[in-house]
Each structure stands twice: as structure tokens, then as C-alpha cells.
Chain A
Amino acid sequence: MASPVYVYAEFDAKGLRKTTRQVLTVAHRIAGGGDVVAVVVGPADASAVTGAGVSSVLTIQAPALETYTAWAYAKALAGAVESNGVGSVLLGCTSQGKEMAPMVAQRLGLALVADVTGTQGEGGEMTYVRPIYAGKALSQVKPAEANYVATIRPNAFPDHAGDGSAEVKAVEVAFDEADSRVTVESLEVKASERPDLTEAEYIVSGGVAVGSAEGFKPVEEVADALGAAVGASRAAVNAGYIDVSNQVGQTGKTVGPQLYIALGISGAIQHLAGMSTSKCIVAVNTDEDAPIFKAAHYGIVGDLFEIAPLLAEEIRKAKA
């Protein structure tokens, strides 16, 4: 019997993360009709996953798992997989997934394929595509064995259509005091009505050209018209115009929306590294030589303070 393919079910404040549904798409490609098993670690509600298109859901609960820490959660995931029968383990390449994955791989003695943006082939012959050198090249990699750990980049794959009603099985994983060596003193959540940046279909970003925190208002107006998330360049964050949680780029978040509108962003390599896989990129900049115009699909040489309100109005008209 073929080994199951496991998917780490990740949750945020709003519930099951969209990325998990995308990971399920890849899991089903690997499983080729075989079992895909979701794993829920900690206090999250497993019923959110039972209809996501999986054969079963494993849950692990323990005092060590009350709050997320990479070490304890990775130990739980690896332990559950081991006790249920080792198979490939897929996670989203999110903050949680990317730090849990190598620990899970090490505990299970498996290879790690990190930050997958594409697949080639099928089943046992599957090879993976992943970006290297800030996306300046794409590597094709192949694990040597049938089972491995992989992290899947958010928005690189479509959501798996949920169906069915899987059974939920609680699994015991042993923890000791040493597993709680890292404790969370505080977590400051950036609550927002807007979609999560890494999972957003639409993003409107502002660069340091906005000139002030107030200067983000036109950016927000366009975002509101689109129902988009708001992003920012590192320079805008460093200038104190917007919070670091909005930063898109190599040291910020990596995004892959349908539409990315860059207002007053020059297009430094580090910024492009975070958004170049966006399906459609629009750039507005007063400098016609700004590098962003090479990466964009559509460009307007103009002042964002003039263009943005007009753009917001046109979008509202188009959606009415």
C-alpha cells in the first residue's frame, strides 16, 4: 500500500489558511489517487479541515502545543507522521512552515524541497521547481527517495476543491520539559480587515515616494476599491510610513497575487524578489527609467498622488 501524503494544516486568526488548500493540490498530485492526510497540531479546530479533501485528519494536543513554537510543533508533526506510517510531508512555505519543515525533515531522516513554485512530471517521477538567487534562476530538483518533506510557496498553486468528510484521529506524541525551552512572552497581532498579504489575490503597494504615513491614503484608496491587501517597499517601512508587517521583498513577505500595483516603487532587486511571480504587475512612478518598468506588465509614468485617486474611481466604476 502506498504511503499517505501528509499535509500540515496551518491556521491563522481567521481559520484554515488558504495556503493549506494550495498545498493540498500538490499533495494530491503526488498521491495520485492515494491517501492525503491532514495533520492539525495544537488547539486549532480539526473540523475546519475534514471537508478540505483529505482521507483523514490527525490531531495532536499537549500542553507544550498551546501556543505555537517551531520546535514543539515540528516535533508533534514528525511524531504523528512516524506513528501513522512515514510518507511525504508537505507544508506551506509560510513563517511557520518554512521553519518547521527542516526540523521535520531531520527528525524523519528525509530530504527537504524548499519553496516550491512548480512541479514537473507525476507521482514518483515528480521533479520540483524552486527559485534561487532571489528568483534570478529556477532550479529543478529531485528527491532521491520516495518520501520527502516539501514546502509550497503561497499562491503558486490553485486551491484544492474541498469535498468529503474525513474522520479525525487523535495521536499521542510525547513531550518533555526540554521541548518547552522556548516560550512566547508576547505576540502583537496586526489585526486587519484586509486579506493576508502572502495569500492576497490583489495587492497595492506604496514606496518611499508616498512621503509620509498620510501618504499611504491614496494607496489604501486603491486597495479598498480592489479589496486588496496593502504592501510596502523596505524604504517606506524604514522611513516609518507603514508597519513592517506590510513589507514585501526579500526581507519582507513573498507574494504572488493575480494583480500587484506598485505605486512610487523603484523596483530594487530585493523588492522584485518578493513579488516578481505576480501574474500581472502594474507600476506607477515619476521616473521613466525606474527598474520596475522592466518587470511590470503595464506602466504609467506619473505621480501616484494624481493617478491613484483616479485609478480607484475607475476600478469602482468597473466593479459596479
Chain B
Amino acid sequence: MADLKVLVLVKQTFNTEARIQLTGDGGIDDKGIKLICNPYDEFAIEEAVQMKERGDASHIRLLTIGPDKAVEALRQGLAMGADEAVRVWDDALAGADGGSIANVLAAAIKKYEWDLLLCGKIAVDDQAFEVPGRLSVLLDTPVINAAAKIELADGGVKVTRDTDAGTETLLTKLPAMITTEKGLNEPRYPPLPKIMKAKRKPIEDLSLADLGGDLVKQMISVTGNELPPERSGATMIKGSAAEQAAELVRLLKEEAKVL
């Protein structure tokens, strides 16, 4: 029976069905958008909760960077089974780049004891795949990305994942850092009693002043956003199956020029 302390990083993002619109000055409009816990982070929370249920983990702490509404994402994780949560916020963090986010997370993480650090492989909003890799260097802990399966083995962890090269099984010692891929598990929908109970679980609020150091440094800026051109919809090809096949190939050759 392992007694692992698990730290799970969580980000609150737009829901994945959200229709993206721009504001007048080229920013992304968040008016009326329903926010959710980044789906990839849900796999991380669920994995930690399952480890606790198996007796492999003894404590789960969630950590997020976000304004007041980010508390909802933490409450969801607490309802799923995490023990406590930490939220870091400071107005200086609005629009902070990946490097700054990683610095702030590292400073917060260093305040707590942990054996296993989990988070989603990417956030569905910026899709940068940046923060875990940066954190890995800041914490001097090699990160294993996109885990499809995580098993504890011999004082360490065995992780299976799919890459361009094929299916890889990696071994690492604890403390370990792992990011999660969709399909790692099926995140639970907590029942109402657990949601109510979660309201009494502690959430610690930290500001940049609590973390010390010069952590926010903008190395990259977004100069604008664009929506991709509207698709006018497909040219539908009619006729018998044989006619459709012939016409399609003709169009691919003569019009699209891809054959």
C-alpha cells in the first residue's frame, strides 16, 4: 500500500462546445461562455481519486491559477474526491504567458509535499502544451506526457502512452510528474451529497505576494485573433453511385487539382 501525496494542477477553461467570437479589439469574447474544468485535468483528478480509493494515495491537493470563478473548477474536483485545494490569483496574472504561469505554479508547488504531480496534457483553450514541460525543468522532475495508463510499480510508476513512434511503456521513480491523455479513465459525475460536502473542504487563497520573487515576465504577446474563414459547405455531388465516384475524381483532378 503506497501512501502517495498527489498534487493535481487544474485550469478552468471555456466549455468545448462554445462558439468563439471576437471582441471589438481582437480579443476572445468570454461573455456568456460557460466555464468548465479543463477536460484533460478531469482525467488527472479522477486518476488521483481512483488511486486514493485503491489505497495507493493518501491525500489529494488541487492547485489552480485563476480569478474568483475558478473556485468552481476546484469545487468540482473536491466533489470528485480531492481533499483540499489552493487557488493563486493576482490581477497581474490576467493574460500571463506560459512562462509566467509555470513560474507561479512552481513557486506554489514548492510550498507543499507531493510524490506525484498530475495534470492534463494540454488545456483546450490555448493548446500550447507548454506549462507542464516548463514546470518539469523548474521542479527538476522529468514529465511523462499523455499517459493512457498509469500503474504504480516497485517504488516508481509505469506509464503507457501512444506517440508518433508507437506505444511506449516508460518507467520512472517517485517523485514523478505525469500529464494525462483522454481515455486514461472515465471521470465521475459526483452525486449531490458529495457536491454539498465539497463546499466544506478547505480552499487556500494565495496571492503573488505570498509566493515572493519576480515571477511574472511577459516573453510573448498576442497581437490579435482571427476567426477562420467561414466554410460555405460542400459541393454535393449527385447521381448514381458510379456517377458520383466518377464526378468526384474529375473534380479532384480538374478543379481541386489534388490528383
Contacts and interface: CB of A to CB of B under 8 A. Distances in A.
Given A141-B222, A184-B169, A315-B259, A307 B241 contact: yes
Interface string B106-131: 00000000000000000011111111
Nearest to A247: B162
A137 B228 contact: yes
Interface string A178-205: 1001111111111000001010000000
A244 B20 CA distance: 30
A186 B124 CA distance: 30
Interface stretch (A25-33, A54-62, A127-135, A164-172): A127-135
B2 interface: no
A287 interface: no
B256 to A, nearest CB: 5
Interface in A1-30: 12-13
Contacts, number: 254
A299 interface: yes
Contacts of B158: 185
Interface in A270-320: 270, 276, 279-283, 293-303, 306-307, 310-311, 313-315, 317-319
Interface in B131-146: 131-134, 136-138, 140, 142-145
Interface string B216-232: 00111111111110010
Contacts of A229: none
A98 B246 CA distance: 41
A103 interface: yes
Interface stretch (B10-18, B63-71, B195-203): B10-18
Interface string B157-195: 010001111111111110000000111000000000000
B236 A299 contact: yes
Contacts of A103: 133-134, 136-137
Nearest to B218: A144
Given A102-B134, A143-B219, A293 B129 contact: no
A78 B231 CA distance: 42
A119 interface: no
A276 B166 CA distance: 24
Contacts of B162: 244-245
A258 interface: yes
Contacts of B245: 307, 310-311, 313-314
Given A137-B228, A144-B219, A279-B258, A94 B164 contact: yes
Nearest to A254: B127
Interface string B226-250: 1110010111110001101110110
B234 A259 contact: no
Nearest to A299: B234
A70 B171 contact: no
A18 B22 CA distance: 35
A95 interface: yes
A310 B251 CA distance: 15
Contacts of A89: none
B225 A102 contact: no
A294 B233 contact: yes
B22 to A, nearest CB: 8
Contact of A137 (B98, B136, B225): B225
Interface stretch (A34-42, A43-51, A104-112, A207-215): A104-112
Interface in A100-127: 100-103, 105-107, 110-115, 127
Contacts of B170: 69, 182-185
B98 A102 contact: yes
B97 interface: yes
Given A181-B173, A189-B165, A318-B259, A251 B133 contact: no
A293 B233 contact: yes
Give the most central of B129, B162, B164: most A CB within 10 Å: B164
Interface of B: 14, 16-20, 22, 28, 97-99, 102, 124-134, 136-138, 140, 142-145, 158, 162-173, 181-183, 218-228, 231, 233-237, 241-242, 244-246, 248-249, 251-253, 256, 258-259
13 contacts: A95-B163, A101-B129, A107-B137, A111-B99, A112-B134, A115-B127, A132-B225, A133-B127, A143-B219, A258-B258, A306-B241, A307-B241, A319-B259
Closest 4 CB pairs of A and B: A102-B133, A299-B234, A111-B219, A71-B142
